[in-house]
Amino acid sequence: MKTSGLGELEAVLAVARHRGFRAAANEMGVSTSALSHAVAGLEARIGVRLFNRTTRSVSLSEAGAQFVATVGPALSTIREAMDRAGSYGDTPSGTLRINTSVGAAHQVMAVFVAFLARYPEMKLDIVTEGKLIDIVLEGFDAGVRLIETVPQDMVAVPFGDRQRFAVVGSPAYFASHRKPRTPADLKAHRCIRSRMPSGTIYQWEFERHGETVRFDGQGSLTLDDGSLMLAAARAGVGLAYLTEWTVSADLAAGTLVRVLEDWTPPLDGLCLYYPSHRHAPAGLRALVGTIREHAETQRQSARGGRQKQP
């Protein structure tokens, strides 16, 4: 197993995070067998079983939970010390683990591709999931989320794009349904509902002239993935509440129609965030620089567009 000298400890933490050996092995880039041997070797040396294993599940034993709670922060400190020492190199290198959502990853992928082209010795390990997590506890270097969801003790680097939501439906749907003019009109419409990772149903948010409205739409379809909601809206199932970025191509092509636009003001956009109390390694600093360049390019483009308007 290729390691940093702390391979067995890294293996235990990975298995604990994923609650299984296969996913942990994939994360570490080793075989399941090698990972299992590494964990078993450590258990044999300390004389304690760290995991309860069955054919269907893997869970921490009581001793394992205490071990992970102690070793996790210590190993994080060691990683930080190694990153700090390595950051004095001239060329950023190594792997950055970034946690984000699928939708956010799609929006910022062009920046990540540009970063990798500029720094060929860097690697990005992007993990997408709907729920918000503690990136420090889960072993990530940074996260990408909406600015409003980022903890206050984090450094936030905006990507530059502001976000807006859009209520959309297909032309076929509106052929038999009157377009809503206010959020209250949505009561007469079929809405494609969105389930959050917590299991709760997301309430559509609107604001105009200081008036804020939350609406819990009713409909025959509930989904937990934006691409599925988009497909359902195209098919005329009902109205969907999605980001402008998600529906922009359909709006331009006329396959979807937008309503209630004056009720969806701009929101703070996406940002890269990372712990403020930690030293940022060279690779992360380079990524931050790339993001800031991207944001400045967008600002200049926006200013140029406004100047050309008659």
Domain boundaries, the chain: 1-86, 92-160+269-310, 165-263
CATH topology of domain 92-160+269-310: D-Maltodextrin-Binding Protein; domain 2 (3.40.190)
The domains spanning 92-160+269-310 and 165-263 adopt the same CATH topology: yes
Per-residue confidence of the chain (310 residues) as pLDDT tens digits?
A: 444 457 888 889 989 998 899 888 888 888 888 888 889 888 898 898 999 988 788 899 999 899 989 888 888 777 777 766 665 555 788 899 999 998 899 989 999 999 999 999 999 999 998 888 899 888 899 999 989 889 988 999 998 777 889 999 999 999 999 999 999 999 999 999 999 888 899 999 999 998 999 999 899 999 998 999 999 999 999 999 999 989 999 999 999 999 999 999 888 889 999 998 777 788 999 999 999 998 888 777 766 655 555 5
- In sequence order, the β-bridge partners of residue 258 are 168
CATH number of 165-263: 3.40.190.10
Edge-to-edge strand list for the sheet holding 240-243 = 240-243, 165-169, 257-259
With b meaning 16 or more CB within 10 Å and e meaning fewer, what string describes 66-102?
ebbeebbeebbeebbeebeeebeeeebbbebbbbbbe
Report how far residue 14's alpha carbon sits from residue 191's, in angstroms, rounded to the nearest whole number.
Answer: 40
**Which CATH architecture is the domain 1-86 placed in?**
Orthogonal Bundle (1.10)
* pTM recorded for the entire structure: 0.62
